[in-house]
Structure 1
Amino acid sequence: MYVITPTWTSEAEVPPVKPGTEYWQSLLVVDDPDPEFRTYCHLFTTRRPWQRGCVDDLLRDTADDKVAGILITDTRMQRIHHPYDGGADVFLTTSDERDQMRDRHVDWLSSHPSGL
């Protein structure tokens, strides 16, 4: 699996790579005419073998709002889990796969009529 972590800056220059990660790519998120207000998202990846509990600390830090914007994917990047404080978004390959996951985890879903 891959764990993708963002670093947000106002500079296009890639910040130092964190230990255990590799630089992947940078995105210009806000292209303001004033360079002081441009925003870049620099993405770093870590490839890990899947083991039960291997991202528990990261998920806990996300729930506690210590980190944000992480993505957890399979190695083909076809399925994406995007946790955040208060929930998570899951992107799957087909609507059938989505429906199966929804049915398996009905207790986790929002009771709000919009599903949000």
Structure 2
Amino acid sequence: MTWHNVLDERPELSERWQANWPDCPPVGHELQRFYSSRWVRFHSLPESKRYADTPAEYEILLRRHNTVLSELFDGQEVFVVTVAYTGESEFTTPLEYPEPLSLNPGARLWMTVTEDDEGEEFPSYSHMLVTHQTWRRGALDSLLRAAADDVIAGVLIADLRMSHIYHPYDGGADCAFPDSAARDRLKAAHREWLSSHPVGL
């Protein structure tokens, strides 16, 4: 599987990404494949339960997300990336599923990528939409909850250098770091949130 860049509206952001993650596009689920030595996954609920069913479980889920995000980005400016998936290479609105814009107000197109899949009759395009803001605890709870409920996918939260990446998904979050030492420090701080899977999935 390879990725093809269809459009780049913010080359300065792409340069920052490429400086840290040259082997893959800004696609959260690819970070483990290319950078496993700098990656860790935290599960959002006890016993690796995937989806929250009660208010108490949502409280646990959001507390875990906000704890790690605050340890990574407290007081910093961050980029927030949401992804609109469509069958068209050109990004236009309104969207059939508007969450990437409604949950990331003010987002503008960064880039569009697609997977190179030989023989694909109906290709899918990932339109990456970006904003930036100062991180504060609770600021992204609606977005984090939507990711946890699989309402939205592909979310990335990154520092302005794009050297630290946080990718929430339905089940937890993937984190990627500049080096394995930074990864290991956060991993050690939250061992009870790790997977029992041999490679940490």
Aligned to 1:28: 114
Residue identity over aligned pairs, in percent, reads 45
Aligned pair partner of 2:163 in 67, 78, 81 = 78
Maintained 8 Å contact 1:4/1:72: yes
What's the C-alpha RMSD, in Å, of the aligned pairs? Answer: 1.8
Q: CA deviation at 1:56?
A: 1.4
Shift of 1:72: 0.6
Corresponding residue SS for 1:99: helix
Normalized per residue, the structure richer in helix is: 2
CA deviation after TM superposition for structure 1 residue 31, in Å = 4.9
Residue 13 of structure 1: aligned partner: 90
Residue number in structure 2 paired with 1:90:
175
Residue 53 of structure 1 is matched in structure 2 by: 138
Distance between the aligned counterparts of 2:200 and 2:90, measured in 1?
39
Give the AA of the match of 1:3. Answer: V
For 1:70 and 1:114, how far apart are their aligned partners in 2? 22
SS in 1 for 2:173: strand
DSSP-derived class of the 1:37 partner: coil
Superposed displacement of residue 99, structure 1:
0.4
1:68 correspondence with 2:143:
no
TM-score if structure 1 supplies the norm length?
0.89
CA contact (8 A) 1:6 1:70 kept: yes
d(CA) in 1 for partners of 2:197, 2:125: 34
Work out whether residues 22 and 46 of structure 1, in 8 Å CA contact, stay in contact via their aligned partners in 2.
yes
Q: Which has the higher contact order (CA 8 A, sep 6+)?
A: 2
Alpha-carbon deviation of 1:57? 1.5
**Corresponding position of 2:48:** none
Instruction: State the distance in 2 between where 1:52 and 1:114 align.
Output: 30
Gaps of 5+ in 1: none
The answer to whether residue 110 in structure 2 is matched with residue 110 in structure 1 is no
- For residue 134 of structure 2, give the secondary structure of its aligned residue in structure 1: coil
Alpha-carbon separation, structure 2, partners of 1:16 and 1:65: 22
1:89 match: secondary structure: strand
The alpha carbon displacement at 1:33 in A equals: 5.1
Q: Residue 61 of structure 1: CA displacement?
A: 1.1
TM-score by length of 2: 0.53
